[in-house]
Every structure is written in C-alpha cells, then in structure tokens.
Amino acid sequence: MAPVAEENPVPENPDSLNLRESRVSHEDAGERLDSWLAKNHTDFSRSVLRRCIEGGAVTIDGKPILKASRKLNCDEVVVFTPPPPPSVTPLPEDVPLQVLHQDDDILVISKEAGMIVHPAPGAPPEGTLVNALLGHTNEIAEVGESDRPGIVHRLDRETSGVMVIARTNAAHRELSRQFHDREVSKEYLALSHGVPKEPSGQIDLPLARSFTDTKKWTVRHDKDARQAFTAWELKATFPSLRQPISWFHCFPRTGRTHQIRVHLRAIGHPILCDFLYGREKQLDLATLGSQQPTAPLSRHALHAWKLHLRHPVSGTQMRFEAPLPADLLPWWEASEQNRS
C-alpha cells in the first residue's frame, strides 16, 4: 500500500497557479465563507470546499482562513486555490472486507488498521477502502463524489473499527446530513497511558491545525479554533503491569480531525503508540508484565467500537459494533474490565 498522509486533506500544490481571486460585493457581505464559495465555484461540492478551507487553501486579504462559518465583509479579497484533481480514477480491487451489515441502501464494515479510507489527490489511488468497496459492489461507483464513492465519514489510517457506507445517492445525502447535524452517535475504545483520578469526565477544548506541523491538530483558543467535545468513561485498568495503562470509553459529540487523540493527550493520557501525539511508536504487552502474553502494538490504539444511526430510508434506529481486532484483543483480555 502506498503511503498517503491522509491527515492533510488539501496537500500543498506548488506547481498549481490556478488561483481564483474574487472581491466580496456589498450584496454578499455577511454571508458564510463556505456558502459564498459554493455559490461562486459551482464546479466543487460544498464538502470539497469545506476541506479546502480547513486545509488552508482559502485566504482573505492574504490571511489563511480555516473556519467555514467565517462571515464575509464587503470588499474583502478571497483567494481560493483549487485542489488538484485525482490523478487516476480509483479502480476495483479484490480486498476482503469484514462486513457487519448490508442491505439495499447501506453497507457497514469494520475497517482494519492501516487502511486509508480514500485516495488522496496526487497519490496513487490504490489499496484504499474505496478500492475495496468498488471491488465489493460496482453500484457504489455512482454514489457521492467520484474519488470517494459511498463515503460519508472517515477514520484515520491507523484507527480500526466500524464505518457505514452509502449504496445509493439518496442514502448518501441522508447519512451525510445525519453526520453533519450530529445525529449519529459514535463510541470509541482508546488504550492510553495513566489512570485517571475520576471514573468519567468531559473534555471541552477547541481544536485547530498546528502552526508548526500541518499534519497535527492542537488545542487552541483563538478565533480559528473549532468547538470539540469528548465525554469519556474509565472502562478498564491493568492491575499488574509495570506502568499504569487504562482503557478509555470515549463518546465524541463533534467530529474534528484527530479529536480523541488530541483530547486525551491534552488531559495527560496520550494513546499508546500514537506516532503524532504519543510517547512511543511500538510496544509489546509482554515487556510490561512477566505473566503477560506477547502482543506487539505498532499503531495508535484507537478503535471505533460502536455506531448508532437511523437507517437513511426506513428511519429505523440501528446500532453496530465492531469487535476488537487481533492486535488489541490481548490487551483487552489482560485488563480488569469495569464493563457497563
């Protein structure tokens, strides 16, 4: 699988001079940036434009603007750098998928760690979840955006767990709306350093892209930061390891990039083996206790455990659960569970 930095949705494109510059009219003053861009650049969907904004591809009077909701003022100069088109249309690949549910409108899978959700612009469109989906069913090719057919949400490359995919355009529109309106409930399991003093808590810290590393997000309290909220419960501890480690049961109420990873680090409990925000790149359970089995871990220990949503056609409430993968299961079995 070719390495793709999915953390940066709008990669730098130094060879592109296709800048689009416009001045805000008196009639458009007070309009949201994303709405104004969608009206003036109809060749891009609003979701693409929103990713461009968050990736720093839009400036106002020479300053990058990272908030889609930013209100425009009369005579401001907006410069938009369009993303490069995908180099090649994603092709079907015969890649096994762990299917949790399937009907005429949706497909629910458990994504494996290490799989990128969709091709990134300028990178080979191979080995991604999109390729596997196209190999699973041809009909998804016509659903949603051409470079990410069927996709309504995503997980980081190294995050495993449950995802829902739309199989029709009607389902794509309705699921996208549910995610946008925060009607979808998500639950994660995170294996983190330390043991919290309280059994539960809430993290209400706004996030924005790091000034020093565009792959990272960080807690910021300026006007460009976006609200981010994560509730958590202590799920399990390890009674006999040489260093304190805990399982956190996380309930994100917003869906910011790297939200749980940054939030847990912010309260002093970074996720194990998180190469961007953690303390180590790999760890073996056997090195932490003489009676523990060999269980090497070489990716951040975050698993999208459960997903609650309404069926996009019938409206039925649905709940899906992705079992823990093989690399995390020994750590779960070695812990002392406080299961609810």
The residues annotated as belonging to the active site are 156
* Tokens 């070719």, residue located: 2
Q: Which residue in this structure is represented by tokens 């088109």? A: 85
148 burial type by CB count under 10 A (0-12 exposed, 13-18 middle, 19+ buried): buried
Cα–Cα distance, 138 to 130 (Å, whole number): 11
| Size (the chain), residues | 340
Listed residue (328, 236, 320, 318) closest to 273, CA to CA: 328
**Do residues 307 and 200 touch, judged by C-beta distance below 8 A?**
no
Spatial distance between the Cα atoms of 215 and 15, rounded to a whole number of angstroms: 21
Compute the distance between CA of residue 228 and CA of residue 67 in angstroms, rounded to an integer. Answer: 13
CA distance 260 to 135: 31
293 CA to centre of own chain: 31
- Residues forming beta bridges with residue 207, ordered by sequence position: 219, 226
Give the C-alpha separation, 113 to 259, whole Å.
18
**Is 147 strand, coil or helix?**
coil
| Cα 13 from Cα 36, distance rounded (Å) | 23
Angle of the 33-40 helix axis to the 46-54 helix axis, nearest 10:
130
